[in-house]
Amino acid sequence: MDEESIQKITSAAKFDLLKAEEILKRSLGCNSQQYALIKKEQARLNIIMGNYESAYKEIRTALDEIVNICLRRPESGHHLKAEFSLVRGDAEGKLELMSGQKESLTTAESIYRNCFGDNHPMVASTLQKLCVRYLEVKNLKEASKYLEESGNICAVLKRGLQEQLASCNSDFLIKYNLDAHPILKRQLHLEKKIRPPQGAWQ
């Protein structure tokens, strides 16, 4: 799509989210999970639009609220705090708040491990973000460490997907290229950046 079309879509999304926020304020107030989720989506959209300061402000507000909700109602799911922490980490990365970004990502990683186990795809995805973070500051040693950890989880993920595909009868799914899976695809991309093929130009 051209730039004008993208701007129309993002502007429409921003309008819809502001309208949703207004409705939620009137019906549920600012202390609800739904309101926090709206602020999170506004932060994600602002990152896409390049409004990083606004995104950072919105996700901090949303994260504070979701933490309070989890304290009041633990059954709400602490994995939401991890999801919000990832968005905060994205905003901090864009603003070059490197220590804050590391804290946000390691918080998300810890929560995902506690909620879903060590081999969950979201653990791998968070480790990949940590790998990228260290690549950006040219710390190859730390980047390689996180790449190896995410690679171990990706191997488990790939085996599981292969078993599922082998047991299905759909021609479309049988022909599915596992390397097109977003997490596996990102892993391959990072491996090429950190460990380029022998003989390749550095």
Would you state the pLDDT for residue 201? 47
DSSP-assigned letter for residue 36? H
Where is pLDDT greater, at 152 or 171?
Answer: 152
Cα distance between residue 68 and residue 75, in whole Å? 12
Where is pLDDT greater, at 195 or 115?
Answer: 115
In this structure, which amino acid lies at residue 120?
Answer: H
Cα distance between residue 125 and residue 8, in whole Å? 30
Share of the chain above pLDDT 90, in %: 59
CATH architecture, range 3-116: Alpha Horseshoe (1.25)
**CB atoms near residue 152 (< 10 Å):** 13
Q: Where are the domains of the chain?
A: 3-116
Where is pLDDT greater, at 32 or 61?
Answer: 61
Cα distance between residue 130 and residue 181, in whole Å? 19
- Angle of the 140-166 helix axis to the 121-136 helix axis, nearest 10: 150
Cα distance between residue 120 and residue 84, in whole Å? 17
Would you state the pLDDT for residue 163? 86
pLDDT beyond 50 at 59: yes
Cα distance between residue 121 and residue 181, in whole Å? 11
Lowest average pLDDT, out of 40-44, 183-187, 198-202, goes to: 198-202
What is the chain's mean pLDDT, rounded?
88
Average pLDDT for 66-88: 79
pLDDT beyond 60 at 198: no
Average pLDDT for 85-95: 96
Would you state the pLDDT for residue 114? 92
Identity of the highest mean pLDDT range in 77-86, 147-156, 193-202: 147-156
Average pLDDT for 181-186: 95
Would you state the pLDDT for residue 51? 94
Cα distance between residue 151 and residue 184, in whole Å? 9
pLDDT beyond 60 at 162: yes
- Tokens encoding 98: 């490197």
Identify the band that residue 173 occupies on the pLDDT scale cut at 50, 70 and 90.
low
Where is pLDDT greater, at 35 or 98?
Answer: 98
- The model's pLDDT over 107-128, given as tens digits with 9 standing for 90+, comes to 999 999 999 999 999 999 999 9
Identify the band that residue 166 occupies on the pLDDT scale cut at 50, 70 and 90.
confident
